[in-house]
């Protein structure tokens, strides 16, 4: 058995400059300022079941993002509505002959 933990970080200003246009506002679907690093943490486990058979499982915790934007009535600035996480679970079975 092998337990693993992977950490990925992305700090790309191009995602914010070339972002989606939603509700009349141009910006990224990711919440936060353009200088904020988006982190992804992936814990996983792999089992060597036989000399040529491996089973694995990984789960990715991803940053929050929004598709719907609205306007803050007090400041008049765009605000993300209903943020969500696109977390991912992956299971695999590998074999070699």
Instruction: Report the domain count for the chain.
Output: 1
From 37, 28, 9, 35, select the one nearest 69 (Cα to Cα): 28
Q: Note down pLDDT in tens along the chain; length 97 residues.
A: 999 999 988 776 666 665 544 444 455 566 665 556 778 899 999 999 999 999 999 999 887 776 667 777 888 777 777 777 788 999 999 999 8
**pLDDT score at 20:** 47
**pLDDT score at 22:** 45
Q: Which structural domain, as residue segments, surrounds residue 18?
A: 2-95
Residue pair 56/92 in contact by the 8 Å Cβ criterion = yes
């Amino acid at each position: 058995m092998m337990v693993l933990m992977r950490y990925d970080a992305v700090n790309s200003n191009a995602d914010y400059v070339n972002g989606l246009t939603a509700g009349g506002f141009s910006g990224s679907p990711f919440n936060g300022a353009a200088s904020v690093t988006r982190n992804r943490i992936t814990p996983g486990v792999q089992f060597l079941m036989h000399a040529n058979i491996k089973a694995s499982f990984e789960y990715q915790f991803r940053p929050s993002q929004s598709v719907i934007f609205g306007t803050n009535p007090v400041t008049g600035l765009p605000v993300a509505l209903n943020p969500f996480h696109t977390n991912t679970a992956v299971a695999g079975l590998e074999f070699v002959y």
